[in-house]
Copies of this chain bind each other. A is one copy, B any other.
Amino acid sequence: MSGEFNLIEKYFVDQQAQRSDVVLAAGDDCALVSAPVGSLIAISTDTLVAGTHFLASANPRWVAHKALASNISDLAAMGATPAWVSFALTMPEIDEIWLAPFCEGFFALADQYGLQLIGGDTTKGPLSLTLTVQGLVPQGEALLRSGAQVGDGIYVTGLLGDSQAGLDVILDKSNATKPFASELEKRHYLSTPRTQVGEALRGIASAAIDISDGVISDLGHILKRSGVGAQVEVEQLPLSQPLLEFVGSSPQAQQYALTSGEEYELCFTVPDSREDAMWQALQDIDCQITRIGTINDDDKLRLTLDGQDLAWQLSGYDHFKTN
């Protein structure tokens, strides 16, 4: 950990147990790590900017969770096991009232996922965070976006739509009186990255992605990379009771589920021939799995409700666009 704010070292250095593959974590020009023979290293970088991805006034513990969870989720989507994280924090001035809970949230989640902070940078400027996470996946077993085949089932983890509803509350306080408003706001920040599911799907799923821009947008990436189409059965979308009560109708909740970003759930495809293996691999993991559709040879993503085509015009998830 280097940077302009040496005080920050007290919050970030030596807060975790050392992983056996970390030779050097802090205090030199670089960290040094080793990857096991036969593994590939999966690497993802994400930036969160105050005002764009979170409000500067947000609970710092939640901001830390969201920043780290969004990165871990990228590892989950590759079937990678979390290993190391580098962290760059830019803030206008040292604010210990903000830093202490931020670091609590950060290390709580990092420890839970076996992720060790190996270094970073702290600089002066407008509040933002950039994390680079690295994970390990056996050679040839990474889950890619490009492997979906005609006939594969399309599945998602967890529940969809809550993150958008939470964002509604964050951006417009008049929504705070709606049912489950504070619960949904919390869900927006506190997602659960699905690394266990991703690891279990190695050798089983034909394609996977995490839901950061809305499931139709993210599934669209799988379709494009795989050169296939899809039918999504909207009545199958897994919706929470709080979402249904918050938005007030099933169609509205379904539309939320289709476009809600920053869910950090997985969307993946599995051939029918491996469906039994899938359910077996996932049986001990505490995570709802729902089949929402089927890959086909169309050139587009088709939405149906009880077998009838839907002509919904849905706009993509655009983070804090109203800011």
Interface 9-residue window, one of A128-136, A155-163, A173-181: A128-136
Contact with A41, one of B41, B87, B132 (Cβ below 8 angstroms) = B41
**Contacting pair B49 A42 (CB below 8 A):** no
Given A47-B130, A74-B29, answer yes or no on A124-B225 (Cβ-Cβ < 8 Å). no
* Bound form: Cα–Cα A34–B38 in Å: 9
Smallest CB separation, A106 vs chain B (Å): 15
**Contacting pair B123 A45 (CB below 8 A):** no
A30 interfacial by beta-carbon distance below 8 Å: yes
Given A43-B30, A44-B31, A139-B34, answer yes or no on A88-B209 (Cβ-Cβ < 8 Å). no
A186 interfacial by beta-carbon distance below 8 Å: no
Contact with A29, one of B32, B53, B77, B86 (Cβ below 8 angstroms) = B77
Given A23-B40, A35-B41, A43-B84, answer yes or no on A49-B121 (Cβ-Cβ < 8 Å). no
**Contacting pair B88 A52 (CB below 8 A):** no
**Contacting pair A41 B45 (CB below 8 A):** no
Smallest CB separation, A46 vs chain B (Å): 5
Smallest CB separation, A16 vs chain B (Å): 16
**Contacting pair A32 B142 (CB below 8 A):** yes
A287 interfacial by beta-carbon distance below 8 Å: no
* Bound form: Cα–Cα A32–B30 in Å: 20
Residues of A1-59 contacting chain B, CB below 8 A: 2-4, 23-24, 27-35, 37, 39-53
**Contacting pair B40 A33 (CB below 8 A):** yes
**Contacting pair A28 B78 (CB below 8 A):** yes
Instruction: Give a binary string over A145-156; 1 marks a CB under 8 Å from any B CB, 0 the rest.
Output: 110000000000
**Contacting pair B4 A46 (CB below 8 A):** no
**Contacting pair A74 B139 (CB below 8 A):** no
**Contacting pair B145 A28 (CB below 8 A):** yes
**Contacting pair A124 B49 (CB below 8 A):** yes
**Contacting pair B125 A52 (CB below 8 A):** yes
Contacts of A40 in B (CB 8 A): 23, 32-34
**Contacting pair A121 B90 (CB below 8 A):** no
Instruction: Give a binary string over A110-145; 1 marks a CB under 8 Å from any B CB, 0 the rest.
Output: 000000001111011110101010110101001011
A319 interfacial by beta-carbon distance below 8 Å: yes
A265 interfacial by beta-carbon distance below 8 Å: no
**Contacting pair B30 A119 (CB below 8 A):** no
**Contacting pair B43 A86 (CB below 8 A):** yes
For residue A84, which residue of chain B has the nearest CB? B43
**Contacting pair B125 A51 (CB below 8 A):** yes
* Bound form: Cα–Cα A77–B30 in Å: 8
**Contacting pair A45 B132 (CB below 8 A):** yes
Please list 16 pairs of residues, one from A and one from B, whose beta carbons are closer than 8 Å in the complex, sorted by A's number.
A2-B212, A3-B47, A23-B142, A24-B144, A29-B75, A30-B75, A43-B86, A45-B119, A45-B121, A47-B130, A49-B123, A50-B125, A52-B124, A86-B132, A90-B128, A128-B128
Ranked 8 nearest A-B pairs via Cβ: A49-B125, A130-B130, A30-B42, A29-B77, A126-B126, A132-B132, A45-B86, A29-B74
